[in-house]
Amino acid sequence: MAASIAYVGGHLQYGVNFCMGQSYKQAIWVPSVTFNGCLQRELSWSCGVSKFLQIRKCNLFQSRTNENWKSFGTVITSAYLRDGSTKYFDFAVIGSGVAGLRYALEVAKHGSVAIITKAEPHESNTNYAQGGVSAVLCPSDSVESHMQDTIVAGAYLCDEETVKVVCTEGPDRIRELTAMGASFDHGDDGNLHLAREGGHSHHRIVHAADMTGREIERALLEAVVNDPNISVFKHHFAIDLLTSQDGSDTVCHGIDALNTETQEVVRFISKVTLLASGGAGHIYPSTTNPLVATGDGMAMAHRAQAVISNMEFVQFHPTALADEGLPIKPKKTRENSFLITEAVRGDGGILYNLSMERFMPLYDERAELAPRDVVARSIDDQLKKRNEKYVLLDISHKPREKILSHFPNIANECLQHGLDITQQPIPVVPAAHYMCGGVRAGLQGETDVHGLYAAGEVACTGLHGANRLASNSLLEALVFARRAVQPSINHMKSSSLDLSASSLWTCPLVPKSLGSDVMHKILRITKEVRKELQSIMWKYVGIVRSTSRLQEAEQKIGKLEAKWETYLFEHGWQQTMVALEACEMRNLFCCAKLVVSSALARHESRGLHYMTDFPHLEESKRLPTVIFPSSHTTGTWSSRQLHQQPIVNSMV
């Protein structure tokens, strides 16, 4: 049974939602219920209860090969980790972007910290964030104005309490970064140069040219490297969270990770775990995200019984570089799309179709400064109507010196391909950019799993609602990384590490026994399946959607996953086996299904979620979409934790 709350028309309604069989039924409303001792006026995400939604299924896309799963997937190994491959820390941090690093630096003052990162520490979405961080730092600006811009951009689905907290605390987080050595651009008057981006009513974007994320990442990494209480484990891929059941509560005790350089599994037992693993851009073929963004944290949390929210709201950045329109095309296909920052439009950039007709005023009175969802849909409409592959973004009418000083990284990238942005327009096309949904987190970053916190893009705090306002993502990561610190410290101090805990969970296996020929075949098939999944998501679950196309995506993804899993297990794969590509694939499947299931549940068009058969915004549906934990007894490989959940009490 899952508690649920609805917010409709300014009035809270209480209800209880029952899971019957294999699918959640519609909520049944009852007049007065209190949850966790919270009074009616205090109910919010921070109470550990959601402001409700609509629910789809307990087990997303029930696999058509459950019998195959039972046949091949019940092989349980008795092997455990060898001595020395278990590590004990007070805090484990999954991810090395701004959220993970900022959190680690604070909790390191109170205990030992492991930062577990998939590739090199700097390889994160933070590092690719060009525009900047939004914060109220100008006397003519106000917290109320920033809140209003955020809520309007979020199509009024934002959690107002969360918005207030983030907009109020944002300026202090910027000042902390400056004190730590982050260098931001200043104007001639000596004050911070504040840019303006789409959806913002004021100049409030703190930036370091067009490489803001890289500068923040540099400053934080430098501090982390110099902190003796922090250990960074690079090239460690997080496989699954280690959890146990304490009555009806799920408790997190750390994670299993695969050292992708040595091909060894390392178990991290920790008192507190922070998920800061970023987004899931690579469920789409064209994304501004780095290769590491395969939704690992969202999928792990879902498998560990955490609540997931608002996954239908995938933000497509309107302006990624369209390689097809460059004079000199790249020699090989990019691993991720090159982002053309929002700030180009904020500085006066104008969008044209290939006939050099300005089109944004036809769609929105704010023209190029409209929120991203509006601009992306407008470009998508132009491309489909005109049967063209890209549009043009022109900033060349601005002074050359200003262009080169504000956008040196973009200018250099384009120049390498024969295009001078001071004289020529930039070919651009929308690309998957940011997940507004994720693991539901409260005002202290807490999740429904005890000992597990979430911050950054992996989390859904309620800030972004149905569409993220430009440059609010780094801000959210900074604010929630700091807000998660004190409750994490409190949890750490009230917990103790069980040095025998490592033996409670089955050890994941590296599939050396399958042989190189079989593994080569599995990896080749997995690569093909990944491309096919991305193609399905782009074609059926893109910028413009419909119920029939979402249902078709659901069927196609279910069949594709079943086919892939059958191939794996027929070639000797076991439930507990792990390899980087295969584990990424299961996470991509899991996140894709979460997106489709959430999209099918929302029968309206709001923010980033546009439905041709429900084209209007419905006030009665101004509710977050929530996916409650699924059953452990059935499901596909992507929806199950690799280890057997131990039946033990919480180790606290």
Question: In sequence order, what are the residues at sequence separation of 6 or more whose Cβ sits closer than 8 angstroms to the Cβ of residue 139?
Answer: none
Q: Which residue has tokens 């597990």?
A: 452
H/E element, 229: none
**Helix (H/G/I), strand (E/B), else coil: 530:** helix
280/299 Cα distance (integer angstroms): 10
Identify the CA nearest to 95 among candidates 130, 133, 122: 122
Contact of 591 with 280, CB cutoff 8 Å: yes
CA 478 to chain centre: 15
Tell me how far apart the alpha carbons of residues 478 and 487 are, in angstroms, rounded to a whole number: 16
d(CA 97, CA 350): 32
Six token digits for residue 538: 């782009």
From CA 107, how far away is CA 598, in angstroms rounded?
35
Distance in angstroms (rounded) separating the CA atoms of residues 158 and 219 = 31
Catalytic residues, by residue number, are: 372
CB 206 within 8 A of CB 611: no
Alpha helices, H only, 232-319: 296-303
Task: With beta carbons less than 8 A apart as the criterion, state whether 92 and 452 touch.
Answer: no
Rg value, the chain, Cα: 24
Backbone CA torsion sign across 352, 355, 356, 361: negative
Q: How far apart (Å, rounded) are the C-alpha atoms in residues 65 and 415?
A: 51
- What tokens does 562 get? 């079943």
Phi, psi at residue 121, to the nearest 5°? Answer: -55, -30
Number of helices (H) and strands (E), helices first, in the chain?
17, 25
User: How far is C-alpha 111 from the geometric centre of its chain's CA atoms?
Assistant: 27
Q: Tell me the sheet residues that pair with 427.
A: 392
Q: Are 477 and 469 a contacting pair, CB within 8 Å?
A: no
Q: Most distant CA pair in the chain: distance in Å?
A: 71
Name the strands in the sheet holding 391-394, side by side, starting at the edge strand that comes first in the sequence: 314-321, 426-435, 391-394, 350-352
